[in-house]
Amino acid sequence: MPVSTQSNLHQLTTQPAWQAFAMGADKSWLNYHQTRTTKMQQWAAEELDSVRSASPTVFYPFSGPDLLNVVTLFPTSQTYILVGLEPVGTIPQPSTLENPALFPAIKASLWSILNFSFFRTNDMAVNLKSVELDGALPLLMLFAARTDQQVQVMRYVQLGSDGQLLPADTAVIHNPGPKVIPGVELKLIAKNGQQKTVYYFSADLSDWKLGITKEAMLRYVRTLGPLTTYVKSATYLMHKLYFSKVRKLILENSHYILQDDSGIAMKYFPPEEWRFTYYGNYRRPINLFSKFYQPELTAAYQDSIHRPQPLPFGTGYNWRQNDSNLLLACRRGAPAS
C-alpha cells in the first residue's frame, strides 16, 4: 500500500522486490474484495441488520489472526475479542522488512484465506517463522490496513487469574509460561471516524488448558456483557466433549451466534432457548472432518416449509459458494434479524 514520502518506510518501497510484491498483492486484494468482500458486506447489511445494532462486542474464538472476516461482517461493532493458538508476536523489525524472503512468505501465508476464507494454520506458522514474523500481530495489522482501519495504539496485555485485563511487557509476550494468557490490544480508527478496539489472546480453549490457567479467559469474556459470537473454520472442536467449557460460555453469554457447521453442534442448542435461520447449503464435512456430519442439519436444510436463505459467498471448509453454510442462532427474546 502507498506510504508517505516522509515515512521511514518509504525507502523500502523503492526496492524492485517490494514493487513486484505490491503489484501482485493489489491484484489479489482487488480480486478478493470483488469476489468476497462486496458480497459479504451486502449480505450482512441485509441479514444481520438488527444483530449488528445489538453487537457492540463480538467474540471470535478459534479465529487465529482473522480480523478480516469479522470486521467485514460486523463493521459497526466497537470491540472484537479474537482467540487463537498462534503466539501474539511483535511488530516486525526493520531487518525483517528489508529481507526479500518476506514477500513470498507473506504471499504464501495469505493464499488460503484470500482464496478459501480460512487459514491453513501450520503452513502459516512455517512461512512466517522463516522470515522472523513471530505470531499473529503482523497479520492483524495487515488486515486492519486492508479493511481501511488505521492502527493508532498497540499495547501488550495479559489476563489475570480472575479474568482482569493487565498490562504485559515483551518478556511475557515472548515467554508467557503455561499459566499465562498473553494478548495484544489494538486501537483502530476507521475511515468514517469510528473507533474500535481489537484484542487478540493466545490461548488453548480446551477444558484441560482452561483449568491450568484458572479459566481466566472464560472469566474475562463473562465481564463483557451479552455477546455476539462468530465461529468459522473451527476444526469442529466444540463438537468434542473436552471443549465443553468454552461451548457452555458461548451458549450462556451470547444473544446471537453466527457460525458455520464447524462451530457448536446442533445437539447442544436447547431449542426452547434459540431461534435458527439457516443460510446456504449444508454438505457433508470435508473428508478430514467426516465424522462430524450432522443429520439434524441435513434435515433442517431439506425443510420444504422453512427453506434456508441464500448465501451469496463461500465460507468455511466447504468454501465454494454453493457448498457453504451459515447458521444464525438468536436467543429467544433478542431482536430478530
pLDDT at 129: 60
Q: How confident is the model at residue 113 (pLDDT cuts 50, 70, 90)?
A: confident
Q: Is it the case that residue 124 has pLDDT exceeding 70?
A: no
Distance CA(245)–CA(225), nearest Å, equals: 18
pLDDT at 336: 66
pLDDT at 118: 65
| pLDDT tens, position by position, 34-60 | 889 999 999 999 999 999 999 999 999
163 within 8 A of 220, measured Cβ to Cβ: yes
Task: Kindly state the percentage of the chain with pLDDT values over 90.
Answer: 75
Cα–chain center distance at 43: 18
Q: Is it the case that residue 316 has pLDDT exceeding 60?
A: yes
* Selection from 80, 79, 75 nearest residue 43 by Cα: 75
Relative orientation angle of helices 121-129 and 102-116, to the nearest 10 degrees: 160
- What is the average per-residue pLDDT within 222-237? 95
Which has more pLDDT, 336 or 115?
Answer: 115
Q: Where are the domains of the chain?
A: 22-331
Q: What global pTM score does this model have?
A: 0.94
pLDDT at 126: 58
| pLDDT tens, position by position, 151-201 | 999 999 999 999 999 999 999 998 999 999 999 999 999 999 999 999 999
Q: Which three cell numbers stand for residue 317?
A: 471448509
pLDDT at 304: 84
